[in-house]
Structure 1
Amino acid sequence: MTHALVDSQSLPAELRPYLDGLVRRTLAVCGRHLVSVFAVGSIALQDYRHGRSDVDVTVVADPLIPARALRELAESLAHPALPCPAAGLELVVYGADFVGRPCGAAGYLMDLNTGPMLPNRVSFDPADSADFWYVIDRSIAHQAGRLLYGTAVRQVLAASSERDLYAAMQASVREHAGGEGHLGDNRVLNGCRTVAFCRTGRWLAKREAAQMIATSEQEFRPLIETALHSFQHPRSEALPLPSNDVRTFLAWVGERVDEAATHAGIGDPGSGTYPDG
C-alpha cells in the first residue's frame, strides 16, 4: 500500500502508520477543501518521545469547508475511532485565509484533543481557548513544520509578528506559573525553551533548550536537570518538582521575556506581572 504521507521515512517509526491513517481520513473527509497537513511540536523539532510526547498536527483548509465536514473530521480522528499510539493527539484546523497572514489570535476552525492520556475535547469556537498556545504553535510550524500532505508549509503559513510572539510568550509564562493542569517538568522545560528563543530567535527542542539554560544559569541547574530526568519517564511516572523553585524559575523566565521584548523595541506587548515565587 502506498503512503499518503509526503515522506514517511523521516517520521518516528512508532507514528508512521498512525499519521498515514490520519492523513487518509482527513483527505477522505475534507476532499478538495484540504490544502495542507503538517506536523508541529516535538515531531517538527525532532524531539518526539514515545509515551511522553503528544502528536501535534495542523490542518489547513479552504475557509469555505462546511461545518458538517469539520464535525465529521473530529469524529473520524477521535481516539479510539483512530487509535492514537502517543500520549495524545492535538490537531488544529485553520482556514487558509487566516494562516496566510500574521495574527495574534487563536483563529481556528476546529481544535481537537484526544488520545489515551488526553480527555476528548473538540472546539469549533476559538473564543473557547487562550490565544498564546496557537500563536506559538504556528511560529514553530513556520520555522520547522514537517509537511505530511499538500502545499508546502511556508506557502500557506505566514510568520508570526514579533509583537504577537512576545505577547504569546508572556501569556505562556503566566499560564505555566499558575501550574494548574501542567506537569512540573513541562513547566520548567517550556520555560527553558522560551528563554532559548529569546536568546537565539529560534525554537529549540525542549531538551536542547534545557541543556543550554542549565549550562549558563548555575542557580537553576539542579531544577532543570531534575526536570530533564523526569521528562525521560512516561507522564504517569513524572517526578514531583519543588513548587516554589518552579515558580521562582518561571518568574526569572518572565523577566527574560520582558527584557527581550524591550530590546526588540516592543516594550510590554502583553501586560503583566509574573509571580515572584
Structure 2
Amino acid sequence: MSRPDDLPPRELRPYLDELVRRTRAVCGPHLLSVLAVGSLALGDYRHGRSDVDVTVVVDPALPRPALPDLAAALAHPALTCPAAGLELVAYPADFAARPSGGAGYLLDLNTGPSLPGRTSYDPREAPAFWYVLDRSLAHQSGIPLFGRPVREVIAAPERSDVLAALRASVREHTDGEGHVADNRVLNGCRSVVYCRTGRWFAKRRAAEVIAASEESFRPLVTDALRSFERPREAALTLPGTAVRDFLAWVADRVDDAVGAEAGTDGGPAQ
C-alpha cells in the first residue's frame, strides 16, 4: 500500500489498510487506483466529525456483479467505520480519465455510524454536481492509497463545469435539508475561495480567509468554525436567517465567477 506515513491520521490507518485489501480482493487485476480525497487529501480530517472520502478507479472490464460484492465488503458494520462515515465512489477508468460534467460512477456507497446508508449503481439517481466537485478536488489533491497516481486516472473537470456544480451545491446548501449548519457555511466559504483562486482549500482554511476579508460575515463564520470542532451530534445551532443571507452572498460570488468565465471564453458575461 503506497502512501505517505502521515497521510491517514493514526486512528484511520488500520481501517484504510483493510478497505484497500478488501477492494483489491474483490476487483483483482481490474483495480487501478484507490485514492484518499476530501478532507483527508486536504489535511483537514477531524475525527468524529469528518467522513472518510475515497475514490476507486477500475478497468471498465470489471464484471458488474463485483460492484455489489464490493459494496457488501465495505459497508458498515461488515467493515466497521471509525469515522463519521465512508463516502466511496468507484469510476470506470475511461470515464474518469476525461473531463466531464456528469456523475459517471459505477458505485456510490455511503455508509457509517453517522451517515445515512446509500448504495447506488446508476449515476442517473444522483445530482451530478457532487461528483464533479469531488473529481475536481481529487485531481488537485488526491493521494494514492493503492495503484496509479491521481493525475494518471482522474481528469480535472472544465472550470465551467465546476462553477455550474458550485451553483447547484449552493442551492442544495441553501435548502439546508440534511446538512449541518456549520458545514453549509464552511462549504460556502470554500466555494468562494475556489472562485477567487481556482484552488480547493480545506474548509477551515477557507473559512479563515473569508472571516479575514468579509467583516460582516465574520461572526457567523467564526461560530461555524467553533461548531465544526464538535461532533456532528453536538453541533451549534446557527441563526437560520444569517446562514441564508451568507449563502445568498456566496451564490452571487459564484454567479460573478460564471459571468467572468463566460467573458473570458468570448461569450457574453451574464
TM-score by shorter chain over 0.5? yes
Q: What is the match of residue 203 of structure 2? A: 206
Which amino acid in the other structure matches residue 157 of structure 1? I
Structure 1 Cα separation of the partners of residues 219 and 233 of structure 2: 22
Q: What is the match of residue 241 of structure 1? A: 238
Q: What is the match of residue 177 of structure 1? A: 174
2:165 to 165, 168, 172: 168
The within-5 A match list for 1:246-257 is 246-257=243-254
Is 1:151–2:148 an aligned residue pair? Answer: yes
Is 2:99–2:156's contact at 8 Å kept on the other side of the alignment? yes
Give the drift of 1:5: 4.2
Give the drift of 1:63: 1.1
Is 1:176–1:187's contact at 8 Å kept on the other side of the alignment? yes
Structure 2 Cα separation of the partners of residues 81 and 248 of structure 1: 42
Q: What is the match of residue 258 of structure 2? A: 261
SS in structure 1 of the partner of residue 262 of structure 2: coil
Is 1:126–2:118 an aligned residue pair? Answer: no
Which amino acid in the other structure matches residue 21 of structure 2? R
Which amino acid in the other structure matches residue 3 of structure 2? V
Structure 2 Cα separation of the partners of residues 177 and 124 of structure 1: 28
Is 2:57–2:92's contact at 8 Å kept on the other side of the alignment? yes
SS in structure 1 of the partner of residue 238 of structure 2: coil
2:109 to 100, 107, 112: 112
2:217 to 194, 216, 220: 220
Q: What is the match of residue 268 of structure 2? A: none
Structure 2 Cα separation of the partners of residues 99 and 133 of structure 1: 14
Using the TM superposition, name which of 255-264 and 93-102 deviates more. 255-264
Is 2:20–2:145's contact at 8 Å kept on the other side of the alignment? yes
Deviations 1:17-40 (A, max 9, x none): 100000000000000110000011
Identity among equivalent pairs (%):
63
Give the drift of 1:162: 1.1
Is 1:18–2:15 an aligned residue pair? Answer: yes
Give the drift of 1:250: 0.4
Cα RMSD (Å): 1.1
Is 2:3–2:143's contact at 8 Å kept on the other side of the alignment? no
Structure 1 Cα separation of the partners of residues 6 and 201 of structure 2: 22
Q: Which runs of 5+ in 2 are unaligned?
A: 265-270
Structure 2 Cα separation of the partners of residues 202 and 9 of structure 1: 23
Which amino acid in the other structure matches residue 153 of structure 1? V
Give the drift of 1:12: 1.1
Q: What is the match of residue 80 of structure 1? A: 77
Give the drift of 1:266: 6.0
SS in structure 2 of the partner of residue 67 of structure 1: coil
**TM-score w.r.t. length of structure 2:** 0.96
Which amino acid in the other structure matches residue 24 of structure 1? R
